[in-house]
Structures are given as structure tokens and as C-alpha cells.
Amino acid sequence: MSDLFLRAARGENTAVAPVWCMRQAGRYLPEYRALRAQHDFWTLCRTPELAAEVTLQPLRRFEMDAAILFADIMTPLPALGVDIDFRPGPVVAEPIRTLAQVEGLTTPDAKDIAPFTMEAIQRIRAATDTPLIGFGGAPFTLACYLVEGKGSKDYGAWRTMMRAEPETAERLLERLADLTIAYLLEQVASGAQAVQLFDSWAGLLSETQYRRFALPANTRILKALEACGVPRIYIAVDAWHLMPALAELPVEVLSVDWRVPLDRVRATQPAGRCLQGNLDPTALFAPRNVLLEEVDAVLRAGKDGAHIFNLGHGILPGADPEALGAVVRRVRETDRHALKAKGEA
Ligand code: CP3
């Protein structure tokens, strides 16, 4: 078993970068599509045997240094009394638009939030030594879906609520933070060895808005996990402008998208913080030599500190699994300590 992922996540500048891939269990894999043809998405998430099987699928194909639990950021939300469907993205039957709806949300016992997920975690731990990453959605991003009712480019209804009824927005964020704390603590108690908080839409916020509507809830969640001792990973997409605020988050690992090279990101973050990323997911569609050059460029930009190799966002459904295999091999065979920055002799 490799502890490379956990060592790098704790800040060690390892000679080889550990590698895993966001959405490594998913539609680009024919074996996922085969299972998915027999079961709807909620059934895959809510049946421990199936969720464990899907989690393990990418590990059979690739030498990954971490597994990520198969679930969704929306998994804990039905426990609030909200009805959610996937078509294929999340669709909320009755979007949350009023204070009365927020106050009407259920407060579930921790054990009742997603017992099937906790059983899946136990099964995965029994089946593999590869470190398992648990995860949840950050309150701001969960609220994007809950208030809007579905995926959107700009989340106008939610961002209007933040301005027109900021107290309602803050109350909703608090409820989501409480739920997420209970859910993630259960995941760690069940065996998750690291935790990633996905804030996919935080890049929509200005730094001022982030400090009011995202930083407090994210900080509260991450602090609540501190005593567990598992590495905490946070990702916001398209968030270069937020780096000063993200530097204040209590995390071991900051996951970053492909838009800014890792050396420039590193300069904005506290010393010793591990960076995760940041190959452009569309690079997997490029000719193989171009893809590998981009992998090398990411490794070079990441070489001056702890680095977990990953994509800058989830792998796209049309990606060729062989391209991901080539990326994993390239990362594994690269000695980071022998790397020279581009331009050096
Ligand atoms: O392999 C893994 O990374 C673990 C599983 C995982 C899924 N969703 C499975 C899934 C994870 C970590 C997520 C997180 C997630 N879900 C995020 C945050 C990460 C990100 O991409 O920004 C978000 C925003 C969601 C919400 C969501 N769920 C969307 C937008 C969609 C549809 C489109 C898409 O990107 O796949 C889903 C459905 C979903 N979640 C699928 C999978 C494998 C596809 C469902 C299917 O099989 O039809």
C-alpha cells in the first residue's frame, strides 16, 4: 500500500507526486456505464455494494494513489426533507426561496443523514489499502442548486437572495454547514482518510461576497474536522481572485483549476500547504505528445513544494481512459526533485 497521497497531503515534498483524478469513478469508464445502464444514479449512490464497486473501478485500471468515495455533493440533502432527482445534473422539486422554507428544513440525526454512504465507506476500506477520500459540497455551492433548483451558468435566483434577503441566505448557509459537519464527521468515523470540500461555484463570488457568504461556513466546517486529524482538501473553481481569502482557510491541501500555474498559486498560500491539480481536463483530448508536455509543465510548476497531481476539475465524460492511464504513468515515472524549471540549464 502506498502512503504517498497522505504524506503529500500532510505537506511532505515527495520525490514522486501522488496522483488521482476528480470524477475518476464515472461516465468516461465503460464499466461505470454498464452498471449505470442497470441502475439509476440514486440507486448507485444508495446501495453500499454498488457505491463501493463504482469507487473501486478506477483503481483496477490505474495505479491511483487515492480512491474517492462514490456519492454526490447532493447525497446528504434529502435528509433535510428536500426532494432531489438527477437528470443528469441535480434537480430540486421545490427550490428553497423563502425564510419559511429554510426554517422548515429537517434537522436529522447524524446517523440518519446517509447511512448507506457510511456502509459503502466501510466496504471500500475492507476491499482496498488505497487511501479513501470522503467529500461533501460546500454550503455556497449546495445553495446554488437548492435555491436555483438546478444547474445554471449564473445562479441568478440564489445570488438575488444573497442581496435581497441576506439573512435568509445566511440562515440557509448555516443549516447547510451544520448538516455538512455532521455528514463529514460520520464519514471520517466510518473510515474516510481525507476529506475534500467541493465549492464548484465559489468563483462566481467577488472576494467581498466570498468573505461574507462562503468563508465563515467553510471555515466552521473545516475547523470541526480538525480534531479528526485527516487531511482537509478544498477546491473552488475559477477562483484566482479569491486566493487571499482561500489562504485563510484551515486546510492542508488547496486544489486548484488549470487557469493559473501552480508556482503562482503557491506564492499566495501559507508555507507548507500542499497544492492539488491542475491539468486542464480537455488536455486528455489532445495528441499524446501534447498531453504529456502539459503533464510535465504541471509537474514543473508544482515542484517547489508538496504536490498531489490531479486534473483542474473533473474528468469529462468523453475522455479516453487510455489517456488518463498515460497521465498516471508519466506522473509516476517523474522524479520531481530532479526537475528543473523551464528555461533552467
Ligand atoms: O469519482 C468521483 O469524483 C466521485 C463521485 C462524484 C460525483 N459527483 C458522481 C457523479 C463527485 C465527487 C461528485 C461531486 C459533484 N457533484 C460536484 C462537485 C464537483 C464538480 O464537478 O464541480 C457537483 C457540482 C455535483 C453535482 C452534479 N452531480 C452534477 C452537475 C451532475 C451532472 C453532470 C456531471 O458532471 O456528471 C451530477 C451527477 C453525477 N455525479 C454523475 C456522477 C458520476 C453522473 C450521473 C450519471 O451517471 O448519469
- H or E element in which residue 86 lies: strand 84-86
For 103-147, how does the pLDDT look when each residue is reduced to its tens digit (9 = 90+)?
A: 999 999 999 999 999 999 999 999 999 999 999 999 999 999 999
- Cell output for 193: 482518510
What separation in Å is there between the alpha carbon of 88 and the centre of ligand 1?
9
Predicted confidence at residue 7, as pLDDT, reads 98
DSSP result, 48-72: HHHHHHHHHHHHHHS--S-EE-S--
In 166-304, alpha helices (H)? 166-190, 207-213, 215-226, 243-246, 262-266, 288-302
Distance (Å) from CA 343 to ligand 1 centroid: 39
Residues with a CB atom less than 6 Å from ligand 1: 22-27, 36, 41, 68, 70, 72-73, 86, 88-90, 135, 151, 198, 200, 314
Kindly state the average pLDDT of the residues 164-170. 98
Query: pLDDT tens digits, residue range 44-75?
Result: 999 999 999 999 999 999 999 999 999 999 99
Instruction: Indicate which residues carry an active-site annotation.
Output: 23, 27, 36, 72, 145
Compute, in angstroms, the gap from residue 312 CA to the centroid of ligand 1.
15
Closest protein CA for atom 38 of ligand 1 = 89
